[in-house]
A and B are shown apart, each in its own frame.
Chain A
Amino acid sequence: MAAPRAAARRRPLDQLLLGLAFVAPALLLNLVFDWYPMFDGIYRSFYRWDGYSTAVWVGLGNFERLLNDTVFRTALWNMAFFLAAAIVLMFPTIVASVVLFRIRHQRTQFVYRVLFCIPMVVPWLVIMLMWQFMYNPQYGLFNRLIEALGMPDLTQTWLGDPDLVKWCLVFMGFPFVTTNAALIYLGGLKSVSESVWEAAALDGAGPVQTFLYLELPLIAGQFKLNLIGTITAAMTGYGTQLILTKGGPGFASMVPGLYMYFSAFKSQKYGYAASIGLTLFLMSLVITLLSMRFFKDTEEA
């Protein structure tokens, strides 16, 4: 009879064991397959290792080499370009989300939201390959379009042109509305009480004023979240370049993440690749923290 009551007041050790029984699988997987690789990566970045022979301790040697590596320097400049473009191009998503939110007819709004979501469900790779097709100089959409407009001299090699390639990669985001970010903004706007909008309408606030003084400040938290995602993705992402350009032509679209990938899987320089990874990791962490700090300050001001 007393058993259930005793069970309700368990001793700390039993409690710990019971808790561990539940959380151990998740925790173990996380420690082994997420935390351990990170520390292993830090450790490896101080070694020279080709993947087969014994690793050789080189201290900060990898990082010294990285400082003088012209490919890495090009990659950093390209990364800065993509980062700046990504931050500027966050704006269309904000506008689109606010416009979508202001559509009062709920059923139409839902239909639009469904359409917004479709590109997210289609494999990202398929969208990339379609853009590759559109840029294809021989078969693709853009040159066909230029020819159809009667200006065959203006056809381009697009991704094959070192001056154009970065702009082409940026333009692939067209119309620069990111589904995920848009849904996050919408979630934020929808969580605001209805009375706020009514009060604004009563005060005679125009659409632009409402945008600047109500909607923008209200989604500041969501903006920060998306900003972290955008910065991390722009600084460490390289999937697009891996599929479409391999960093080329030459090194015109090389980014640090891709350089890391090639250093490991093409040149078998695992230690060097790890040091690129660590450098990128620290850089994106610092820039994320700095931008968070910046936004905190502007909020208080």
Chain B
Amino acid sequence: MATQVQARRQRPFPWAEALKHATIVLVCLALLFPLFLMVMMSVKDKEQIVYEFFAIRPPFHLENYTIAFGYIAPLISNSVVLAVGSTLLTVSVTALAGYAFGRLEFPLKNLLFGILFAKMMLPGIMNLIPSFTLAWKLGILDTPLPVILFCAGTSQPFWVFVMRTFVAQQPRELFESMRIDGASEFQNFRYLAVPLLRPMIALMSINVFVFVWNDYIWPLVTIQSFEKRPLTVGLAYLTQANPGDYGMLTAGYVIAALPLLVLFFISMRQFIEGLTAGSIKL
């Protein structure tokens, strides 16, 4: 008893520390509340939403999920095509360019890099309408191509910058020794740079994938046929077409959110560290 009292006197309750935790926990709760509400509503039928909004009690209407899945399953594969296509194209051109800008010496290098980098600093608002007319003139509207090509055109400069910095940080001797062994520059890239760049490539892939998966306005504008549209556009349409059917709709929202959440929890550490790391070099 006595020792306990003494121990307590030596270490007073850490109010400051508790306050910090309380603040952050409250912020997290508020941040996650819409998601909580989404899951809660997704198992209710219309009557339950109207008459017992705040109650969490059976019967749980899991059929909401099967109905919603029936609507959006085809859209999921559309989203996958768009996101995977954009990621593959963007990552491959970026890795090549990042390697060359970081490793090789060639005339006009700084000018070419400047062209790539300068557009990144400018607001992109002007691009929407002329981009649409360009896609129109190219005859690629209503295909996955506008999303994939414009994603590769607009989102790689930042990553070229990141990869260039990373490649330039690697010891020069590494690449020189390969060259003396008679390796071509492309072999150098393929067998030395790509493995080295793997963490950057993973990080970039996740980011591009998430960006395209979540994109709304550009696919809405360029893909007119409903059955070709991605998940985001389909969900907004479904919401307008089924006013008040919030059990089914929120079930659809949950299904739409799940793939990325799973991806996130698989690659969590890389994802967060990468997001934090990218900003240190300011």
Measured between beta carbons, the chain A residues less than 8 angstroms from B94 are 26
B256 in contact with A139 (CB, 8 Å): no
Measured between beta carbons, the chain A residues less than 8 angstroms from B180 are 4, 8
- Which residues of chain A in 205-231 are interfacial with respect to chain B, using CB atoms and an 8 Å cutoff? 207, 221-222, 225
Interface pick from A70-78, A82-90, A113-121: A113-121
Q: In the bound complex, how far is the Cα of B30 from the Cα of A25, in angstroms?
A: 44
Measured between beta carbons, the chain B residues less than 8 angstroms from A3 are 182
Interface pick from A162-170, A195-203, A270-278: A270-278
> How close is A237's CB to chain B, nearest CB, in angstroms?
9
Measured between beta carbons, the chain B residues less than 8 angstroms from A130 are 34-35, 37-38, 250, 253
A184 in contact with B260 (CB, 8 Å): no
Q: In the bound complex, how far is the Cα of B271 from the Cα of A110, in angstroms?
A: 12
Q: How many residues of A contact B (CB 8 A)?
A: 100
Q: 1/0 per residue A103-139: CB within 8 Å of B?
A: 1000010101111111101111111011111101011
A141 partner, pick from B53, B124, B214, B253, beta carbons under 8 A: B53
A190 in contact with B280 (CB, 8 Å): yes
Give the size category of B's interface with A. Answer: 35 or more
B97 in contact with A23 (CB, 8 Å): yes
A221 in contact with B282 (CB, 8 Å): yes
B268 in contact with A114 (CB, 8 Å): yes
A284 within 8 A of B: yes
Q: In the bound complex, how far is the Cα of B129 from the Cα of A236, in angstroms?
A: 14
Interface pick from B1-9, B56-64, B145-153, B196-204: B145-153
- Which residues of chain A in 1-27 are interfacial with respect to chain B, using CB atoms and an 8 Å cutoff? 3-4, 7-8, 12, 15-16, 18-20, 22-23, 25-27
A138 in contact with B244 (CB, 8 Å): yes
B97 partner, pick from A22, A44, A118, A243, beta carbons under 8 A: A22
B65 within 8 A of A: no
B107 in contact with A30 (CB, 8 Å): no
Measured between beta carbons, the chain B residues less than 8 angstroms from A274 are 126, 129-130
- Which residues of chain B in 109-150 are interfacial with respect to chain A, using CB atoms and an 8 Å cutoff? 109, 112, 115-116, 119, 122-134, 149-150
A277 partner, pick from B96, B115, B125, B160, beta carbons under 8 A: B125
- Which residues of chain A in 30-58 are interfacial with respect to chain B, using CB atoms and an 8 Å cutoff? 30-38, 40-42, 44, 51
B20 in contact with A123 (CB, 8 Å): no
> How close is B240's CB to chain A, nearest CB, in angstroms?
10
Q: 1/0 per residue B72-106: CB within 8 Å of A?
A: 00000000000000000100111011011100111
A188 in contact with B280 (CB, 8 Å): yes
Measured between beta carbons, the chain A residues less than 8 angstroms from B241 are none
Residue on B nearest A17 in the bound complex, by CB: B106
B279 partner, pick from A23, A123, A187, beta carbons under 8 A: A187
> How close is B147's CB to chain A, nearest CB, in angstroms?
11
B132 in contact with A242 (CB, 8 Å): no
Measured between beta carbons, the chain A residues less than 8 angstroms from B261 are 118, 121-122
Q: In the bound complex, how far is the Cα of B72 from the Cα of A123, in angstroms?
A: 15
A117 in contact with B272 (CB, 8 Å): yes
Q: In the bound complex, how far is the Cα of B53 from the Cα of A19, in angstroms?
A: 63
Measured between beta carbons, the chain A residues less than 8 angstroms from B156 are 26, 29-30
B105 in contact with A15 (CB, 8 Å): yes
A66 within 8 A of B: no
Q: In the bound complex, how far is the Cα of B34 from the Cα of A131, in angstroms?
A: 7
B279 in contact with A118 (CB, 8 Å): no
Measured between beta carbons, the chain B residues less than 8 angstroms from A37 are 126-127, 130-131, 134
Q: Can you list 6 pairs linking A and B with CB atoms under 8 Å apart?
A: A25-B93, A35-B119, A103-B17, A183-B279, A270-B129, A280-B126
10 additional A-B residue pairs with CB within 8 Å, beyond A12-B107, A191-B280, A239-B217:
A23-B112, A29-B153, A29-B156, A33-B153, A38-B122, A96-B24, A115-B28, A123-B213, A139-B50, A183-B275
Q: Which residues of B contact A (CB under 8 A)?
A: 16-17, 20-21, 23-24, 26-28, 30-32, 34-35, 37-38, 41, 49-50, 53-54, 89, 92-94, 96-97, 99-101, 104-109, 112, 115-116, 119, 122-134, 149-150, 152-154, 156-157, 160, 179-180, 182, 185, 189, 210, 213-214, 216-217, 221, 231-232, 235-236, 239, 244, 246, 249-250, 253, 256-257, 260-261, 263-264, 268, 271-272, 275-280, 282
